Structure 1
Amino acid sequence: MPLAYGLAAVVGLVLCLTWGALQVQVTLAGFLNGESLWSKAQKQAVIDLTAYARSGEADRLEGFRRNYQVIRTDRWAREAIDSGHYDKHAVADAFRRGGVIPAAIPGMIFILDHFAQAPYVGEALSDWRSVDTSIDELNTIADQLQRAYAQGPLSPEEAVRQRTRIDVLNNFIQPRSDDFSLQIALGAAWLGKVLFISVLLTALLASLLWVRMAQRILAGIRGTEERYRLLFDSAADAIVMVDEVHGRILGANRTAGTWSGRDPHGLVGMNFHDLFVEGSMRSAGSSTIGLLRAANGLVRTVETHSNLTTWGTQPMRQAIMRDISDRVAMEQERRIAAEALASVAEGVIIADSERRVTTVNAAHTRITGYTLQYLQHHRFDELRRMADGSPLPASIWDMVAEGGNWVGEVQSWRSDGSSYPELLSISAIRNSEGRVQHYVAVITDITRSKADRQRLEYMVAHDPLTGLATRSEFQRHCAQAIEAAGRISGAAAVLFVDLDAFKAVNDSYSHAIGDRLLVKVAQRIRRELGEQDVASRIGGDEFTVLLGGLRTREQAGQFASRLLQSLSEPMLIGDYEIVMSASIGIAGYPLDGADPVTLIANADAAMYAAKTQERNTFRFYTPLMHADARMRLMLGADLRQALIRDEFHLVFQPSVELRTGRIVAVEALLRWRHPERGELMPDEFIPLAESLGLIRRIDAWTMRAVCAQIRQWDEAKLPPMRVALNASAATFGHPGFIDGVKQALQASQVSPKRLLFEITESAILRLGEATEQTMHALHALGIGIAIDDFGTGYSSLAYLKLSGIDYLKIDRSFVMDLPDSANDVAIVEAMLAIAKSLGMCTIAEGIETAAQHEFLLRAGCAEGQGYYYARGLPPVEIERMLSPNPRHEPSRLRLVPPK
């Protein structure tokens, strides 16, 4: 507004000066007009007077008088102004009668009154005044001529004389009249310049003053704008100016750019709502809350306040956004804390520094039945006592006041008067000075948890199946018995009981029947126990018995005899009657050990000796038994290194076609070249390998070795023959067995039809449904399958219906007494009939005599193995026997007795 006012003042001043200049120009025009009229009147007066002097015509005299009157009127007005005392109206009227432009009259009066001595004006007025006398003389001449003509015609001499006088006066007036006109013109030109320069300087000065004022005002505006921009950009809140009509951003401060991850200028033109996560904006009273999304994906919660204003003529909304992420997080934390306090399963009590209750949650009311209204007038420790019934001691409050947290079990009361065990946790909230301001107590009803703990303690200490003690509980009782025996110089004994052939029960019946059998065994063991005796189950079918208060070790032997007798009695399990036996090892304190672990280990060693030497008996521990156990441990350690050291090798026992005597197959037999014990047979290390989890690695080695040997024989151009190899149940039922077979065949380029897998009857039963799947997979590959040791298991004949079984091997136990044993003859003939009806090829094992060979040939057996033909031979011997050009060809292989 100051700039507008200043500009208006400058324009007004320029207009005023212009108007003044115009007025001066009008005045000068009046001067020039007056000069023109005066000069014209003077000239016309001379002309009219000269003509009158020549002709005496009255019109000429009247014309002179009229022009003279104009000159006279101007002269009077001039002289009135020069006197300084004049009537402006009279002077103006005189100039008006003289023919001056009315608009110029006031200016002429002002100049004649105040600028009579101005340049050019003074000279013009001097010229004007200098002719006054001459004009008066012209009037005198006119009077004389008028009187002369009144008397009669004027003589020529007089007329010439008067005209001469007129010419002389005219010659005097004319130069001065011309100079007057010149001075007036020069004065007008000079005054025009003066007026132009004055107007120009005045306009420049006024413009300069306006510019200076504008600079100061703009500097002030710029400073104000910079301060506003500084405040705008340094504001902690994000500020955005938004076009109310289109919603586009017109401006934004630095905070808005930082929060949005963009340059503030880059926000200009964007739609304001594009800054927020879609659908996140919600109304919150007079403001809105939304999620502001940055360019890098960071999201923050902002509260937006907006007000409508006008920017020029454009409606605009100013949006101020405040980051409320911390506030929202705190509100959420408070809400979560409140909800957690209300929904937590444990009861929560908040009390003041005097332990008077101020707040409880719903769980506390549910547990105790007390409402907050009732508890607000009581201390929360009034309803609680220690487990022994005494009040809560002062040491609790001292501990909490010192910054600790007290947790303990107390006895608490409900609103109905009943009591219950409670786990109480007390902590304190302090003020800024460190004094206790509130107590926070968390209570938990542990009625059920105590019962669960007792039940858990029982479960930890007792076997869940049989109810007997566990190993740890047994060792604890054993330690107590040893300590008691040591005080009275008595004795104690530990019996290690292992059921004989329990695995066969599981395989033949089911694991459920096996579990029920173990329960029966536990009942019979418990039936034989005395008051100081403890029994435990420490493994699948392994039990231990602690006999305390003994005088001699022989008393433990008597107990073992009674226990064996009790366990050998038939047990009725469902629809089955099962007869069991057990092997028992005995180790006594103080002779065989002074701690529970030693006694149990020694009793285990004695049990192993009983099971190895004679089942269904007991043995007392001797130090030699541990030597055998250590030997087994050493053998197990060596077995782990046997594969790494390549100590295994294969021998091959031929399988002969009984009808022709031709070798049609060989069976791969595994041998172990032990570096110290020499060559070991499979029966000496295969069970140990199965217990150590090494059997699958050994089977995989055997598979690769057999395929490599077949490949070597094929390269030697030997007649193609079938090679049989044994597969353990662990290998046969493993998910990767088939893939391993495929890889071995592919690596050696051996046809699958060259292989025959032998699997025992018990292994088939143990694998269950997985057996049939594996057999189908092998049959699809073209690999044959044989059932080994047929007739020695505990199953029915149902598994013979499984598809994929190609061969049936008759166990040596049915062959060794042929043909003298009628029972064996009947059994073998039945087996051969079954195999023939099922389309299976039969192979008899253990043929050692010609009589056995002849009987099996007549009975229809297809193939045979045994020492009657050959023992297990190294590969080179098999190659020599099957070579197309042998050095000698015996008609029949001789019986080679085993080493």
Structure 2
Amino acid sequence: MDKLLDIRKKEEGKKTSFRIVSMYVLLACLLQIANKMGASYLSFSLMIIVTAYLLYMMIQRNIAKVNQIETLQLKREEQKIRSTLESIQDGYYEITMTGSFLVFNHSLVELLGKVEKELLGCQIADFMSAEDAKKLKQAYQWVAHTGTAVNCVEWEVIREDGTRKCVEASIVLILDAQDSAPTGFRGIIRDISDRKDSERMLEESRFRYKSLVDHNPDLVCSFELNGLVTAINPATEKITGYSANQLVGTSCTHLLSVRPRSTYVRPFMLAKKGLSASFEISIAHKRGFPVDLHIRFVPIIVDSQVVGVFAIGKDITEHKQAEETINHMAYHDALTDLPNRRLFTDHLTKSLEQAERGRHKLAVLFLDLNRFKYINDSLGHAFGDTLLQTIAKRLLSSVGHHGTIARMGGDEFTILLPVLKQESFILFIVKEIIEAINRPIVIEGLECSVTTSIGISLYPNDGQDAKTLMMNADSAMYRAKESHRNQYEFFTPTMSVQASERHTIEQELRKAVERNELLLMYQPQLQFETGQITGVEALVRWLHPKRGLVSPTEFIPLAEETGIIIPLGEWVLRTACQQNKAWQDAGFAPMRVAVNLSAYQFKQANIVQVVADILHETGLHPAYLELEITESVAMQNAKQVIGTLEELKKLGIQVSIDDFGTGYSSLSYLRSFPIDRLKIDRSFVNDITSTQGETTIAASIIAMAQSLNLEVIAEGVETEVQFEFLKNKGCHEMQGYFFSKPLLKEDMTGRLASIQGVS
């Protein structure tokens, strides 16, 4: 703005000089006129002076008036220029050739973060890095040299507070008005920080998108609206086996074998309308194997218009296979791969619907393996599992395509014969099954034999629905098992009554513990030399309110089959320990109480903790508790059994092998068992006097126990002959009716009192 004023002053000086020269010329003319007229020089001089003065005053007034007008015009122009510069949102600058600020607007002051008065005299290079200053200096030199203005020179403003602004500047050379010599530079400096941020965000967004697509493990393809592929990501190449060159420009229909085409065409049409849609499809990999995909079509929208379609696909091949495996497992038995109860029931329900429509019969067979529990307990679960797998294969071979075979669990199988035109066909299938199962089975070098009991129910005679038919076939199977094994039974109405009674007994047994219907009886174990009672065996009985005293042979198998044996066994153990402690507290001589552990109890993972807790709860010293396990239980998994027995022995209790001689014990394992005594099974004792073989076995057991430093006790001693034989062979402890039958706790207390003299 000061530059503009200087120009104006120079022009005004020129005008004043012109006026003075003009006045002198006028005075000279007047003097010549006066000389020609002959006027006196003094008078004329006075006239000239007055005239000159008047002329001068007139000129001065004109000059002042002109100056006033021009000054106002100049101020107006200055205000216009200043107003224009201040209205510019970008920074305006004028600098010297050396870079010092001369002219600037307020926008530039704000951009540089300076106070206006501080900016005068500052160098433009003060607000940038050394590298940017070097770059800008080269630009100014080029403009000064060529006289050509430049635009869009980018650099970064560094403000006093440390903040930075990205700017874009223009550079125009300023020339002197008279001699056109370069005097400085002017231009616009624009803050482009927001634009740079937007560009950076756009670039970052582009890289994010590229990273999302390129590194996405899922298939990503873009399609034109006509269905042709425009781009694919690397995952697509991996999933399909085809390269981008092989797929771009195609419609990928050579990958799709699915029919109907609407499976993928309809979702694509929805995407073209702006709606995303998903579906599952199987494609053919380049190598030929199928790949299952879950595809979602997503519209590509630009300016509110759908310009293409994205396909985002996840490879669900493994998921599908896992789903099929899980589904198979949900409906098939894990051991035999036969249908399980759920699938069998579904098949039976559908077959019943077909039988009703076709007015034909169908049959349900329920079969159970005889002696399986004994084999499984004695030879181990691995042996039992192999046996079940063998039976399953023989059943498939016997039934073939005529029906559906399922495993219900354990050793129970069901068979559905869905179309039955003649009942004689049932007998044909049943006989095939019986003969197949009866054939000897060799597993791990051991030969075993099992038989089966089969129950049969018919639709519509024996039931109209799946549940009834299966229940009635089950009832018929139990009748076959009870009456004559290795045979079959057709269902009769009386069987349902018996099955109902069995169910009722099961329910009553579950409540027997809660209702205090169970009781223990104690059979004394005597040392014959002293006649002293060294222990008692606790025997459980069920005192039913209506049935009276129920033998354990009736309810123990049912308890084991239904799982009731676990709570029942704990009750027996706790009650026996409590009673033994009560006898000791009453002053009787300490003795052991023997409690039999069933196979189901012994297999419990927490059996050691259960025994320890009961001993702690009752206060009985562990030395006065003896746990009996059968020989078959001991040999199921000898190494595992030894580990459990060792843990039990650490508690301080005694352990005996019950029913010894009936199983398959080997001497090597018997040496390793941490046991205290062997109990000779009553079957050998009963036939001691009549069978030479039993006599030899009993004598051998006693001799073997003595060689192993084990005590031996015989059960079931009922006659004096048996007693004398056992005594002579070295058996020092016995129990049986020869000494005493099992006694109630009150009677046992009286017996102890009479022997020990305790009142």
TM category (shorter chain) comes to 0.5 to 0.7
User: Would you say 1:360 and 2:232 are equivalent positions?
Assistant: yes
Aligned to 1:523: 393
Which of 383, 388, 404 in structure 1 is aligned with 2:259?
A: 388
Distance 1:606 1:652, change over 3 A: same
Conserved 8 A contact 1:368-1:413: yes
Conserved 8 A contact 1:420-1:445: no
User: Would you say 1:678 and 2:548 are equivalent positions?
Assistant: yes
Which of 407, 431, 453 in structure 1 is aligned with 2:278?
A: 407
User: Would you say 1:342 and 2:241 are equivalent positions?
Assistant: no
Which of 440, 462, 465 in structure 2 is aligned with 1:595?
A: 465
Q: Secondary structure at the match of 2:753?
A: coil
Aligned to 1:718: 588
User: Would you say 1:669 and 2:546 are equivalent positions?
Assistant: no
Q: Secondary structure at the match of 2:635?
A: helix
Counterparts in 2 of 1:566-577, with a 5 A limit? 566-577=436-447
Aligned to 1:504: 374
Q: Secondary structure at the match of 2:513?
A: helix
Q: Report the CA distance between 1:887 and its aligned residue.
A: 9.3
Provide the rounded CA distance (Å) in 1 between the counterparts of 2:566 and 2:518.
14
Alignment-mate amino acid for residue 703 of structure 1: L
TM-score by length of 1: 0.57
Conserved 8 A contact 1:389-1:411: no
Distance 1:534 1:402, change over 3 A: same
Aligned to 2:614: 744
Distance 1:435 1:527, change over 3 A: same
Counterparts in 2 of 1:125-524, with a 5 A limit? 307=158, 309=160, 338-368=210-240, 370-372=242-244, 375-378=247-250, 380=251, 387-388=258-259, 390=261, 395-401=266-272, 404-408=275-279, 423=293, 425-429=295-299, 431=301, 435-443=305-313, 463=333, 465-466=335-336, 468-524=338-394
Which of 403, 406, 410 in structure 2 is aligned with 1:536?
A: 406
Aligned to 1:276: none
Provide the rounded CA distance (Å) in 1 between the counterparts of 2:633 and 2:282.
60
Conserved 8 A contact 2:274-2:306: no
Alignment-mate amino acid for residue 278 of structure 2: V
Q: Secondary structure at the match of 1:538?
A: strand
TM-score by length of 2: 0.67
Aligned to 2:703: 833
Distance 1:881 1:569, change over 3 A: same
Aligned to 2:623: 753
Q: Report the CA distance between 1:834 and its aligned residue.
A: 0.8
Conserved 8 A contact 1:384-1:410: no
Which of 871, 880, 883 in structure 1 is aligned with 2:750?
A: 880
Q: Which moved more, 1:482-491 or 1:341-350?
A: 482-491
When the two structures are aligned, how many residues end up with a matched partner? 580
Alignment-mate amino acid for residue 568 of structure 1: N
Q: Secondary structure at the match of 1:882?
A: helix
Provide the rounded CA distance (Å) in 1 between the counterparts of 2:597 and 2:558.
16
Provide the rounded CA distance (Å) in 1 between the counterparts of 2:580 and 2:199.
80
Conserved 8 A contact 1:784-1:804: no
Conserved 8 A contact 1:733-1:767: no
Q: Report the CA distance between 1:870 and its aligned residue.
A: 1.5
Aligned to 1:244: none
Distance 1:510 1:871, change over 3 A: closer
Conserved 8 A contact 2:381-2:636: no
Conserved 8 A contact 2:587-2:758: no
Aligned to 2:732: 862
Q: Secondary structure at the match of 1:815?
A: helix
Conserved 8 A contact 2:276-2:299: no
Q: Secondary structure at the match of 1:766?
A: coil
Conserved 8 A contact 2:525-2:535: yes
Conserved 8 A contact 1:517-1:573: yes
Q: Report the CA distance between 1:468 and its aligned residue.
A: 3.9
Q: Which moved more, 1:616-625 or 1:463-472?
A: 463-472
Provide the rounded CA distance (Å) in 2 between the counterparts of 1:744 and 1:414.
65
Provide the rounded CA distance (Å) in 2 between the counterparts of 1:744 and 1:551.
61
Distance 1:593 1:758, change over 3 A: same
Q: Report the CA distance between 1:467 and its aligned residue.
A: 5.0
CA RMSD of aligned residues (A): 4.1
Provide the rounded CA distance (Å) in 2 between the counterparts of 1:422 and 1:721.
72
Residue by residue, what CA displacement relative to the aligned partner does 1:364-404 show, whole Å, maximum 9, x if unpaired? 223445554565545x4665667237577864444335564
Larger Rg: 1
Residue by residue, what CA displacement relative to the aligned partner does 1:650-676 show, whole Å, maximum 9, x if unpaired? 221111222343322211112233333
Aligned to 2:170: none
Alignment-mate amino acid for residue 214 of structure 2: A
Alignment-mate amino acid for residue 561 of structure 1: K
Distance 1:661 1:884, change over 3 A: closer
Aligned to 1:109: none
Aligned to 1:241: none
Residue by residue, what CA displacement relative to the aligned partner does 1:829-867 show, whole Å, maximum 9, x if unpaired? 111111111112211111222222222222221111112
Conserved 8 A contact 1:497-1:607: yes
Instruction: Answer 1 or 2: which has greater strand percent.
Output: 2
Conserved 8 A contact 2:338-2:392: yes
Which sections of structure 1, spanning at least 5 residues, go unmatched?
1-234, 236-284, 287-304, 310-315, 890-899
Distance 1:394 1:580, change over 3 A: closer
Alignment-mate amino acid for residue 259 of structure 2: D
Distance 1:741 1:392, change over 3 A: closer
Conserved 8 A contact 1:407-1:423: no
Conserved 8 A contact 2:459-2:469: yes
Alignment-mate amino acid for residue 568 of structure 2: I
Which sections of structure 2, spanning at least 5 residues, go unmatched?
1-109, 111-130, 133-155, 166-192
Residue by residue, what CA displacement relative to the aligned partner does 1:184-223 show, whole Å, maximum 9, x if unpaired? xxxxxxxxxxxxxxxxxxxxxxxxxxxxxxxxxxxxxxxx
Aligned to 1:814: 684
Which of 601, 612, 624 in structure 1 is aligned with 2:494?
A: 624
Provide the rounded CA distance (Å) in 1 between the counterparts of 2:282 and 2:587.
92
Higher relative contact order, structure no. (Cα contacts within 8 Å, ≥ 6 residues apart): 2
Provide the rounded CA distance (Å) in 1 between the counterparts of 2:538 and 2:205.
74
Residue by residue, what CA displacement relative to the aligned partner does 1:308-357 show, whole Å, maximum 9, x if unpaired? 74xxxxxx85689x999999999999766644432344321123445443
Alignment-mate amino acid for residue 654 of structure 2: G
Q: Report the CA distance between 1:790 and its aligned residue.
A: 0.9
Aligned to 1:113: none
Provide the rounded CA distance (Å) in 1 between the counterparts of 2:201 and 2:621.
72
Q: Secondary structure at the match of 1:883?
A: helix
Q: Report the CA distance between 1:413 and its aligned residue.
A: 7.0
Provide the rounded CA distance (Å) in 2 between the counterparts of 1:813 and 1:584.
30
Distance 1:879 1:328, change over 3 A: farther
Alignment-mate amino acid for residue 215 of structure 2: S
Provide the rounded CA distance (Å) in 2 between the counterparts of 1:478 and 1:613.
28
Q: Report the CA distance between 1:362 and its aligned residue.
A: 1.0
Aligned to 1:801: 671
Distance 1:698 1:319, change over 3 A: farther
Provide the rounded CA distance (Å) in 1 between the counterparts of 2:646 and 2:360.
64
Q: Secondary structure at the match of 2:694?
A: helix
Distance 1:573 1:593, change over 3 A: same
Residue by residue, what CA displacement relative to the aligned partner does 1:675-710 show, whole Å, maximum 9, x if unpaired? 333333333333333344443333333333223222
Provide the rounded CA distance (Å) in 1 between the counterparts of 2:745 and 2:598.
23
Provide the rounded CA distance (Å) in 2 between the counterparts of 1:748 and 1:591.
57
Alignment-mate amino acid for residue 463 of structure 2: G
Which of 514, 529, 538 in structure 2 is aligned with 1:644?
A: 514
Conserved 8 A contact 1:421-1:447: yes
User: Would you say 1:614 and 2:484 are equivalent positions?
Assistant: yes
Q: Report the CA distance between 1:510 and its aligned residue.
A: 4.1
Provide the rounded CA distance (Å) in 2 between the counterparts of 1:438 and 1:834.
90
Alignment-mate amino acid for residue 351 of structure 1: F
Distance 1:331 1:796, change over 3 A: farther
